[in-house]
Structure 1
Amino acid sequence: MDIEKFREHLLKNKMVEKRTEDYIEKLLEYQEYLEKQKQTIETVNVNELVNYTEFLVTQDKDSVLVFLRALLNYANFAKRNDFVEAALDIAESYNAMDNLYARIAEWHGEATRDEIFEGLTIPPLGIHPEKKPQFTKKVLKRVEEKLGEDKLIALLKPCLHEGLGGDMDKDRKDYHELGIDAFLEKKRQDRVKEFEKHRDDGTPAFAQIVDDDVVEYVKNNQTSGLGKREGNIIYVTKNPYQIKKLLETNDLRMKRFFACFCPWVRGAIKDGSEHEVSKHFCQCSGGWFKGYYEQLFEQPIKIEPYETALSGVPYCKFAVHLPEKVIIK
């Protein structure tokens, strides 16, 4: 690990000096940990990264996020896409249950929140992602028992983490100029171009390696991007979390596992216990799109899970019920 070149890289990219030194400190601590096991950051199996983050949880759990940010910066610098994938696997949606904890208190009061979470500890960032569904099963069951099915759905619908972003001013302008159908097709083609660029540049698309097979999958997904309209409904399908791995297995359960983005449920799909997770949990994933569409249309919309990895298929598809006065050309 060339620390000096990494430091130069961070400073050249306008990272403040203190954060630069914090990141280097975390990486040196990781290197020291690896050396005790006769490994280095260049030789370690990235699948063992979670062993270190779980170790950090026992030492100083507040340091895990800084370490993962440091590692992601190093991985981008060193072109270690395998570390990008491993780090994002641990970090994805890490604060979702903290947000549920806060939302219940805000909407239903702290006493109700405390009753629901009594005896439960939210899994911290850094633990193995496949351990998280055990918590999901328990807390969603308690929410539904205490508040009822409708209020559980309402809590999940806004999404429990950051939703879909983008250049909304430009997208709204394109939508008004093109109409909904041409706009959706443009966004689908934009998504294909994104994946083609990742393939050509050798960079990961979020947490996955992109090759010709992955690009072809995205091209053939007619409801990717922001979806495709059929009557008064837009059907939108997320491109899977790990397309290449999904394509390489014939096991439907593992295809579903690789399709799902959410660490709070993926492990349950893998071990066959997904029936213990509330069937409404994917309302959260629909909520990832909801805010975007509401800004685009400038009015409330309804979105529902249509078919998901949790429900039994190797993809996650949502139905966006269009509001009135959508521009159709």
Structure 2
Amino acid sequence: MGDTKIVYDEKFGITTFKREICAQLGEAFWNELVENIELPDIDSECKCQCHNMYLFMKRLEEMTDEETLKKILYKVRHGLHPSQCEWAHKEFMEAGNLDDFLKKHLNDELNGFIELNKEKKDFYGQEITDEVLTFIKENPKMLAPVRKGNKLYCMAFPCNMKEYLSVTDEKMKRYHACHCPFAKESILSENVVSSALCNCSLGHMMNFVEAFMDRELRGKVVHSVLNGDLICEYEIEIPDDIMQKYVTLEG
């Protein structure tokens, strides 16, 4: 969602977590957190079914309160920052209406996938088959935020859409939905990484929305495959002044 124009300029990894944890709680906290545990490595977690991240998150949850943890992970957001979507603020201002902006963004994104399907090109390695394209059309929240009242709803692309659509086993569906190299393999283990980690993906989704609204926002994880759901979905609050100025209410 909005990611087709992003240039990823930071190597995401455990150092991203360290930066945000230290910024919020200090380096002494970090040192205590990681004492006598093996740090998760983004390239090798798959070999241990993400058990290092399972232990890391377990300890982090024990040492922090829920709101602080959420704030930290939301800032991790896969190493993204709103400046990578600064084009969106200009387009939002030009549209002058939230629903018009979201509709245009949805159409632009959808047309891009229609072209990928037509030209048999991939999306970050994913084949856009006819079945995948139909799934995308049926789930517009994957392409652009969908407004319901004063909330926006976003849905993450399944990591492997073709496999996600073909399997019937729910655990395997969750596995093929998950993108996170720090958590994906744990879905097939007895020790699934805490769904609190999905606040990182919430931050990823909010990155685009915060960019076009030009401010920090509040949001929450609604559904998470790490929590047993079949999709990952997020809710973002629209500030009152945005509603008043950029939303035309019916009636």
Alignment of 1:117 with 2:37, yes or no, is: no
Offset at 1:285? 0.4
Q: Distance in 1 between matches of 2:81 and 2:153?
A: 16
State the partner residue of 1:150. 67
Offset at 1:317? 0.7
Offset at 1:129? 2.6
Pair 208,264 (structure 1): closer, same or farther in 2 beyond 3 Å: same
Q: Distance in 2 between matches of 1:325 and 1:148?
A: 30
Alignment of 1:305 with 2:221, yes or no, is: yes
SS in 2 for 1:280: helix
Does the aligned pair in 2 maintain the 1:140–1:152 contact within 8 Å?
no
Equivalent residue letter for 2:30: R
Q: Distance in 2 between matches of 1:308 and 1:249?
A: 18
The CA RMSD over aligned residues, in Å, is 2.3
Give unpaired runs (5+ residues) of structure 2.
Answer: 1-9
Alignment of 1:140 with 2:140, yes or no, is: no
Q: Which aligned pairs between 1:238-249 and structure 2 lie closer than 5 A? A: 238-249=156-167
Q: Distance in 1 between matches of 2:134 and 2:78?
A: 29
SS in 1 for 2:75: coil
Does the aligned pair in 2 maintain the 1:94–1:125 contact within 8 Å?
no
State the partner residue of 2:237. 321
Does the aligned pair in 1 maintain the 2:151–2:235 contact within 8 Å?
yes
Q: Percent identity?
A: 23
Equivalent residue letter for 1:107: Q
- For residues 218-243 of structure 1, what are the alpha-carbon distances to aligned partners after superposition, in whole Å with 9 as ceiling and x for unaligned? 11103222221000101111221111
Equivalent residue letter for 1:300: E
Equivalent residue letter for 1:196: I
TM-score, normalization: structure 2? 0.84
Equivalent residue letter for 1:190: D
Pair 294,94 (structure 1): closer, same or farther in 2 beyond 3 Å: closer
Pair 315,120 (structure 1): closer, same or farther in 2 beyond 3 Å: same
State the partner residue of 2:119. 201
SS in 1 for 2:142: coil
Equivalent residue letter for 1:216: T
Alignment of 1:173 with 2:91, yes or no, is: yes
State the partner residue of 2:172. 254
Alignment of 1:226 with 2:144, yes or no, is: yes
Pair 170,140 (structure 1): closer, same or farther in 2 beyond 3 Å: closer
Offset at 1:111? 1.9
**Bigger radius of gyration among the two:** 1
Offset at 1:141? 1.6
Pair 298,191 (structure 1): closer, same or farther in 2 beyond 3 Å: same
Does the aligned pair in 1 maintain the 2:45–2:51 contact within 8 Å?
no
Equivalent residue letter for 1:113: W
Equivalent residue letter for 2:226: L
Q: Distance in 1 between matches of 2:43 and 2:196?
A: 26
Q: Which stretch shows the higher mean deviation, 117-126 or 228-237? A: 117-126
State the partner residue of 1:103. 20
State the partner residue of 2:5. none
Q: Distance in 2 between matches of 1:227 and 1:260?
A: 20
Q: Distance in 1 between matches of 2:86 and 2:20?
A: 26
- 1:292 counterpart (190, 208, 221): 208
Q: Distance in 2 between matches of 1:208 and 1:197?
A: 14
Pair 162,152 (structure 1): closer, same or farther in 2 beyond 3 Å: same
Pair 112,167 (structure 1): closer, same or farther in 2 beyond 3 Å: closer
Does the aligned pair in 2 maintain the 1:98–1:122 contact within 8 Å?
no
Does the aligned pair in 2 maintain the 1:163–1:289 contact within 8 Å?
no
Does the aligned pair in 2 maintain the 1:282–1:308 contact within 8 Å?
yes
Does the aligned pair in 2 maintain the 1:241–1:260 contact within 8 Å?
yes
Give unpaired runs (5+ residues) of structure 1.
Answer: 1-92
SS in 1 for 2:229: coil
Offset at 1:283? 0.7
TM-score, normalization: structure 1? 0.65
SS in 1 for 2:147: strand
Pair 252,263 (structure 1): closer, same or farther in 2 beyond 3 Å: same
State the partner residue of 1:213. 131
- For residues 261-287 of structure 1, what are the alpha-carbon distances to aligned partners after superposition, in whole Å with 9 as ceiling and x for unaligned? 11111111123532xx32311111000
